[in-house]
Chain A
Amino acid sequence: MRARHRKIQPNEVAFRSLGYILLFLFGMACVVPFYLIIVSSFASETALVRDGFRLIPTDWSLDAYRFVFTNPDRIQRAYANTIFVTVTGTCLSLLMTTLTGYVLSRRDFTWRNVFSFFFFFTTLFSGGLTPWYIMCTKVLHLKNTYGALILPMMFSVWNMIIAKNYMQGIPYEISESAKIDGAGELTIFFRLYLPIAKPLLATLGLFAALAYWNDWYNSMLFNTKEEYQSLQYFLQDMLSSIQALKQLVAQGNSELAKGVTLPTSGMKMAMTCVVTGPIIFLYPLVQRYFVKGLTIGAVKG
């Protein structure tokens, strides 16, 4: 009660307002570019060229989207690839990461420190990109397969350590009593630990989904054939060359032959929206678990 009635001191006011100002500025710096991209995708090309990117475009138009979807084959294919890879990859990687983290968090597992170090060492030292690339292409033959998009990101030692730390925080006695009732390790994992570890699943699931959805790197390294490329790689292609944009529209489109200029700036923004859109919707779903799910701790013990 006394604290509430205490007079607010000037340095307290400074503390509060500084906080509001800084958070406001940083937040705006983060959100304004997204806003700009979205409205610019609905601006007409002449407005973009004449007046530049503006908070409120001087002239609206749906041309950019119309051109993006005139020849939707490649987009559809890339979309399908990315959705398939994201769903499969996220499920597999969640299962593998949490299962491994679970085993290494068990006190009654005799060699948990040995195996923890076995995994952890790979984050300290690595062979580098080149031997890894040769492994993927010459031994595993991943070139131009879906495997090239799924396998390289399926298991992350960092996420496994987060999972292990989280599960160490779950009272051990829960599983003891379940064991007395005759539950096996798998039952304990799936029926007891996973339901308790919802914040962890949400956090790691988001990490994995983002990694798969946003992946262009593996497409660039391995998949030279268009039919196996991911959405982000497709976007990179579009953003980096007007030629690629033209090709996207040109096939079987007579308007271009008639000398219609392509809304290149607007199309780039429209493509960006089309590519980013779906993944942003994950945020509200997992947001409330986030602070709880991220427990970073030491590797030892």
Chain B
Amino acid sequence: MFGQSKAIGQRSLRRQLYSNRTYLVLLIPAVVYVLIFCYIPMGGIVIAFKNYNYAAGILNSPWVGLKNFRFLAISNKLWTLTRNTLAYNLVFISLGMFLEVTFAVIINEMRCKWFKKTFQSFMFLPFFISWVVATAVIQSMLDYDNGFISRLVQSLGGNMVNIYTNAAPWPYLLVFFRMWKGVGYGSIIYLSAISGIDQGMYEAAEIDGANSWQKVFRITIPNLMPTMIIMLLLSLGQVFRGDFGMFYQMIGNNGVLLETGDILDLYVYRAMSSNTNLGMSAAAGLYQSVLCFATILLANFIVKKVQPDYTLF
């Protein structure tokens, strides 16, 4: 009887394969891509436990156990790097979400069409540029000698710090420019969620005499909750991964600024490009991945306990 059901199982598997054949063929490019660029490199994690050298390759490099990790821990940098990465990301995530929802609500409530359209387009401009171009923007605004804002401050009798030799203002600058570049795009995600809210709710609230504030806090925000939680979960999954492009272009290898602006991703890149320390670079990368993975699992678990409908997976 067992054998019989197995035979049926095989036959129906074959039938299923046949009936899904077009779908399976269409998936081949993406599956191969993800295998090559994501899954096989996951196996490459082993070099975190090896003394990797290019000539020997992954398989023939000697095992060194946890030496790379111990090195990372001793160098005392690991704690600072982790703290910086986490702190920057938490500020980016919370402030970002606050501003994005705020501007989505503002834009949605705005009656004056031309004003809304013009300024929404303005907000979206920084999304179009690379961090390389953003550094030119910073230069034109904040350059110590002839930047627009520096000159303005000086002409008002103030004293401007030279941002390229002073690490103190960078946490604020990084947060500002991150918001500057991302909020315009982020607010569109919430706008598109707002456009899906049932208009009848607003009409009913209006008949009951609700004012604009009440409509925002009692209808719009609660209806945005699912989107907000998904966006939160998505960004928490990357919370130990910094925005390499931004930090590299703005802080880069400027030793003075690294004091406040160094993050794990910069370290991984430095260790890798110096070519002497691939094992340690991989160890730091693995450390990041494991922390991110644990965070997203935990966050999703908590959401599942509180509000099962809002989970990511």
Contact = CB atoms under 8 A, between A and B. Distances in A.
B184 A127 contact: no
A250 interface: no
B39 A296 contact: no
B148 interface: yes
A36 B148 CA distance: 8
Contacts of A37: 136-137, 140
B209 to A, nearest CB: 9
A103 to B, nearest CB: 5
A129 B136 contact: no
B146 A53 contact: yes
B253 to A, nearest CB: 10
A263 to B, nearest CB: 13
A71 interface: no
Interface in B254-313: 265, 268-269, 272, 278, 281-282, 284-286, 288-289, 292-293, 296-297, 311-313
B104 to A, nearest CB: 10
A28 interface: yes
A236 interface: yes
B132 A232 contact: yes
Contact of A103 (B27, B126, B132, B133): B27
A210 B189 CA distance: 18
Given A11-B211, A36-B140, A298-B311, 6 more contacts: A132-B44, A155-B34, A184-B22, A214-B129, A291-B188, A292-B192
B156 interface: no
B30 A155 contact: yes
Nearest to B112: A20
Nearest 10 interchain pairs by C-beta: A128-B285, A131-B44, A52-B146, A214-B130, A27-B119, A52-B151, A27-B122, A127-B41, A122-B38, A130-B282
24 contacts: A22-B102, A23-B106, A23-B116, A26-B123, A26-B183, A27-B118, A29-B180, A30-B123, A33-B141, A103-B26, A128-B45, A129-B281, A130-B285, A131-B42, A131-B285, A132-B41, A134-B47, A134-B278, A138-B54, A140-B36, A155-B34, A269-B136, A287-B121, A291-B188
B109 A109 contact: no
A220 B121 CA distance: 31
A227 interface: no
Contacts of A26: 103, 119, 123, 183
Given A12-B212, A30-B180, A100 B122 contact: no
Identify whether the interface residues of A are mostly helix, strand, loop, or mixed.
helix
Nearest to A34: B125
Nearest to A53: B148
Given A30-B122, A36-B148, A275-B133, A130 B278 contact: yes
A126 B231 contact: no
Given A115-B27, A128-B45, A214-B129, A20 B115 contact: yes
A185 interface: yes
Interface of B: 16, 19-20, 22-23, 26-27, 29-31, 33-34, 36-45, 47, 54, 57-58, 102-103, 106-107, 109-112, 115-116, 118-130, 132-133, 135-137, 139-141, 143, 145-148, 150-151, 180, 183-184, 188-189, 191-193, 195, 206, 211-213, 227, 230-231, 237, 244-245, 249, 252, 265, 268-269, 272, 278, 281-282, 284-286, 288-289, 292-293, 296-297, 311-313
Contacts of B227: 296
Interface string A280-301: 1011000100111111111110
Contacts, number: 277
A110 B14 CA distance: 12
Contacts of B23: 103, 106, 109, 185
B119 A24 contact: yes
Contact of B192 (A12, A185, A291): A291
A19 B110 contact: yes
A123 interface: yes
A296 B109 contact: no
B122 A135 contact: no
A3 B126 CA distance: 39
Nearest to A235: B132
A276 interface: yes
Interface of A: 3, 9, 11-12, 15-16, 19-20, 22-24, 26-31, 33-34, 36-37, 40, 48-49, 51-55, 96, 99-100, 102-103, 106, 109-111, 115, 117-120, 122-135, 138, 140, 151-152, 154-155, 157, 160, 184-186, 210, 213-217, 232-233, 235-236, 239-240, 265, 268-269, 272, 275-276, 279-280, 282-283, 287, 290-300
B192 A131 contact: no
A223 to B, nearest CB: 14
Given A125-B293, A131-B41, A294-B189, A272 B33 contact: no
A134 B286 CA distance: 15
A272 B192 contact: no
Contacts of B150: 52
B312 A298 contact: yes
B128 A128 contact: no
A26 B100 CA distance: 12
Nearest to A131: B44
B41 A135 contact: yes
B36 A135 contact: yes
B133 A122 contact: no
Contacts of A300: 311-313
Contact of A127 (B136, B141, B211, B289): B289
A16 to B, nearest CB: 8
A102 B29 CA distance: 14
Given A53-B140, A132-B37, A298-B311, A138 B148 contact: no
